[in-house]
Amino acid sequence: MSTIKMKGITKKFPPATVALDNVNFSVKKGEIHCLLGENGAGKTTLMNVLYGLIKADSGDIFVEGKLVKIDSPKDAIELGIGMAYQHFSLVPTNSVAENIALGHPSASFLFPLKMVKKTIKTLSERYGLSVDPDSKIWQLSAGEQQRVEILKVLSKNPRLLILDEPTTILTPQEIKNLFQALKQMAAEGRTIIFITHKLDEVMAIGDRVSVLRKGKLVKTFETVKTNKQELARLMVGREVLFRLERPSVQLGKVILEVSDVCALNDRGVPTLRNVSFSVRENEILGMAGVAGNGQTELIEVLTGLRKATRGSVIILGKDVTNQSPKNIAEIGVAHIPEKRIDIGIVGDLSVADNLILRGYGKAPFSKGIFLEKGNIEKHANKLAKEFNIVTPSINTPAKLLSGGNIQRLILARELHGEPKLIIASHPTYGLDVAATEQIRRWLQKQREQGVAVLLISEDLDEIFSISDRVTVMFEGTIMGTVDADKAKLEDVGMMIAGAKTGELCIEVKNRT
C-alpha cells in the first residue's frame, strides 16, 4: 500500500518553464525511494510541492489513501513529513543547538537548548554525524552544515524523510554511516525519499527508484531490476562519459610551493599544522579530505583571505605569504570558491558586471575613473557564448541563473585572465552531469595548456577523474600524496579517515 501518492502534479513557472508535467509518484511504507534526475529535472520542485513550499497548479496528494492539502511546511510536518534541504536552511549566527531548537515542536518554552543538546548527542552518536552543538553555523564547513541540516530533520522524528542530495559533501565513511542509519529507519517502518543524481547511491541504497527528466517522471523501477547504464540513459537521454581521458604531458616548473604553513580558524584554534606541498605546470593536484579538516583555511591562506601564522606560500617564484587577495589574483591566481553563490558572485548585479568582478579596474573595462560600458558588454557577450552561459540576457541579475550557469560564469571570469594557477574548491558540487563534465573538461584543458591546478574536493570520483596526483588532508595536516593512476580508492579513503600513507605502502613516483 502506498503511504504517499502524488497524482497528476503539474507546476508551471511563467513565462515558459514547465517544472513538473503531470507527475504521478508514490512511495510505500518502509521503503527507500530514490528520486533520480539531473539538476533542473524537477526533483526538488516535486518534493517542495509535497513539503508545502510550492503550490502545484494541479494534482492531488494522498497520505495513506486520504486526500490531503499541504499548504505549508507546517501542514507537512503535522503529517509526519520532514525535509533536509540541499541549500541549508540554517541561521548562520546561531549555534547548532539553537538552529535545531528553532521551530522544534517539542522544545520546551524555557531552556529549550538543554533538551535539544541531549537529542543532538543521541542522534549524532546513533548515526555517526558528529557535530559540536555549541559551534556557530558560520564557523562550520559546508560538510558540517549538511550534518546539522540532517540532524535538524531527524530530531523531529518524521515518518517520511525527504533528503535532498544529502551526500554531496560527505565522506565515503559518513555516507556509509548515513546509509546504515537510513536502512535502519526504513526497517523501523519509516519511509525515505532520497533525491540524488548519483547512480552509485541509487544502487547502494534504493529499494525503488524513480527517474525524472525535464519535469516528467520517466519510469519507476525496483533497483534490483535495473542497472546503472539504463538509469543513466533515462536520466540524461544519452550515454555519459564518466572518466576523462588524460593525455600525458611533460610536468613543468613548480608554480605553487607551500612550505610549513600554519594558520588559525575563525575560532582562533590552530587549524593548519605545517602544511607543505607543491603543484607544477601541467599538473592537477587533487586534494581530498572531509570538509572541516582545514581545506577552507588553506584556500583562504593561499588566496590572501586569511593570515598564515607561519610558513610560506611561493607562487611563480614570488613570496606571496599574507599578501592581499588583489595582489595574489594579479600575479595569475584564479580562485573558484566553494560557496559559489555566497562569495563567487554578487547576485543582484548583472551577469556582465559579475564577469568583470576581477578586471573592472583595468583596461579595457575602465579608463581613468570611468567604466567602459561598451567593452564590458562586448566582453560579457563573448564570454557567455564561449562558456555556454545560459542567460536571458547579459543584464539579467546573476542570482536568477541556475547553479550550473552560475558556475560557468565564475569559471569564465576566473579563467579569462589566463591564470597560471587555478585553485578550485568543489567546482562541480551540486551541478548536473552535463555541467560537471564540461567544467572538468575545462580544468583538464587548462592543465594541458600549462596551468597548475589545485583541485579541492570531497568527491573522490571527481578527484580521480582528472587529477595527476592525489593528496589528502586530515585535521590540518597532509596525510600523504599518491599517484592518481596507481592509488586505489580504498587507500585514499583510509587516509581520509586518518591513516598514514606509510602504513599503506604506496610509492609515489614523479611522472615525467
Partner 1 sequence: MKLKIERRLVESRQRTIYITILSALSLIAIVFLAYGVNPILAYEKVFYGAFGSWYSLSETITKSIPLMLCSIGLTLAFQTAVWNIGAEGQLLMGAIFGSGVALSFPQWPAYLLLPTMFLAGFVGGALWSFVPTVLKTKFQTNEVITTLMMNYIATKILEYLLCGPWRGKETWGFPYTEIFSSSAQLPTIGTTRIHYPTLVTAFLMSVALYILLTRTKLGFEIHVVGKNPEAARYVGINYTKIILLVMMISGGLAGIAGIGEVAGIHHRLRIGISPGYGFTSIIVAWLSGLHLSSTMSISILYGGLLVGGEMIQISLGLPIGVVEMFNGISLFSMLIGEFFSRNKISFEISSKGG
Residue whose CB is less far from partner 1, 347 or 450: 347
Distance separating alpha carbons of residues 229 and 232, to the nearest angstrom: 5
Q: Is the dihedral angle over the CA atoms 389, 279, 467, 144 positive or is it negative?
A: negative
Which one of 86-94, 352-360, 451-459, 477-485 is the stretch in contact with partner 1 (CB under 8 A)? 352-360
Residue whose CB is less far from partner 1, 334 or 479: 334
Rule CB under 8 A: say whether 329 interacts with partner 1.
yes
Distance separating alpha carbons of residues 325 and 130, to the nearest angstrom: 34
Which residue of 112, 172, 311, 347 would you call a contact of partner 1, by CB under 8 A?
Answer: 347
Which residue of 66, 225, 268, 363 would you call a contact of partner 1, by CB under 8 A?
Answer: 66
Rule CB under 8 A: say whether 360 interacts with partner 1.
yes
Three-state secondary structure along 438-480? HHHHHHHHHHHCCCEEEEECCCHHHHHHHCCEEEEEECCEEEE
Rule CB under 8 A: say whether 115 interacts with partner 1.
no
421-425/254-264 β-pairing: unpaired
Rule CB under 8 A: say whether 42 interacts with partner 1.
no
Rule CB under 8 A: say whether 335 interacts with partner 1.
yes
Rule CB under 8 A: say whether 68 interacts with partner 1.
yes
Q: How far is the CB of 468 from partner 1 (least distance, A)?
A: 27
Residue whose CB is less far from partner 1, 329 or 466: 329
Residue whose CB is less far from partner 1, 283 or 353: 353
Rule CB under 8 A: say whether 348 interacts with partner 1.
yes
Q: How far is the CB of 369 from partner 1 (least distance, A)?
A: 5
- And the C-alpha cell for 470? 592525489
Which residue of 1, 16, 69, 225 would you call a contact of partner 1, by CB under 8 A?
Answer: 69
Rule CB under 8 A: say whether 13 interacts with partner 1.
yes
Residue that is written with C-alpha cell 529549550 in the block = 112
Residue whose CB is less far from partner 1, 298 or 492: 298
What lies within 8 Å, CB to CB, of 91 at 6+ separation is: 98, 99, 102, 137
Residue whose CB is less far from partner 1, 63 or 261: 63
> Which of 305, 295, 300, 226 shows the shortest CA–CA distance to 459?
295
Rule CB under 8 A: say whether 448 interacts with partner 1.
no
Strand order in the sheet with 310-315: 270-280, 254-264, 310-315, 318-319
Rule CB under 8 A: say whether 369 interacts with partner 1.
yes
Rule CB under 8 A: say whether 206 interacts with partner 1.
no
Residue that is written with C-alpha cell 583555511 in the block = 297
Binding-residue pattern over the window 14 to 33 for partner 1, x denoting contact by CB under 8 A: x-------------------
Q: How far is the CB of 410 from partner 1 (least distance, A)?
A: 10
Which residue of 371, 460, 504, 508 would you call a contact of partner 1, by CB under 8 A?
Answer: 371
Strand order in the sheet with 333-336: 333-336, 421-425, 452-456, 284-288, 469-474, 477-483
Rule CB under 8 A: say whether 267 interacts with partner 1.
no
Which residue of 71, 386, 418, 448 would you call a contact of partner 1, by CB under 8 A?
Answer: 71
Residue whose CB is less far from partner 1, 335 or 469: 335
Which one of 139-147, 237-245, 322-330, 388-396 is the stretch in contact with partner 1 (CB under 8 A)? 322-330
Query: Quick check: helix, strand or coil at residue 71?
Result: coil
- And the C-alpha cell for 326? 588583489
DSSP letters of 1-41?
A: -EEEEEEEEEEEETTTEEEEEEEEEEEETT-EEEEE--TTS
Q: How far is the CB of 347 from partner 1 (least distance, A)?
A: 7
Running DSSP on this structure, what letter comes out for residue 397? B
What lies within 8 Å, CB to CB, of 122 at 6+ separation is: none
DSSP letters of 177-229?
A: HHHHHHHHHHHTT-EEEEEES-HHHHHHH-SEEEEEETTEEEEEEEGGG--HH
Dump strand ranges (E) for 282-409: 284-288, 310-315, 318-319, 333-336, 366-367, 370-371
Which residue of 38, 144, 353, 437 would you call a contact of partner 1, by CB under 8 A?
Answer: 353
154 alpha carbon, distance to own chain's centre = 21
Q: How far is the CB of 268 from partner 1 (least distance, A)?
A: 16
Q: Is residue 12 packed enough to be buried (19+ CB in 10 Å), middle (13-18) or exposed (0-12)?
A: middle
Side-chain-side CA neighbours of residue 475 (13 Å): 5
Which one of 39-47, 124-132, 339-347, 502-510 is the stretch in contact with partner 1 (CB under 8 A)? 339-347
Binding-residue pattern over the window 275 to 314 for partner 1, x denoting contact by CB under 8 A: ----------------------------xxx---------
Binding-residue pattern over the window 75 to 94 for partner 1, x denoting contact by CB under 8 A: ----x---------------
Query: Quick check: helix, strand or coil at residue 261?
Result: strand
Rule CB under 8 A: say whether 138 interacts with partner 1.
no
Residue whose CB is less far from partner 1, 206 or 337: 337
- Interface residues with partner 1 (CB under 8 A) are 13-14, 55, 63, 66-69, 71, 79, 303-305, 324-327, 329, 335, 337, 342-349, 353, 356-358, 360-361, 366, 369-371, 373
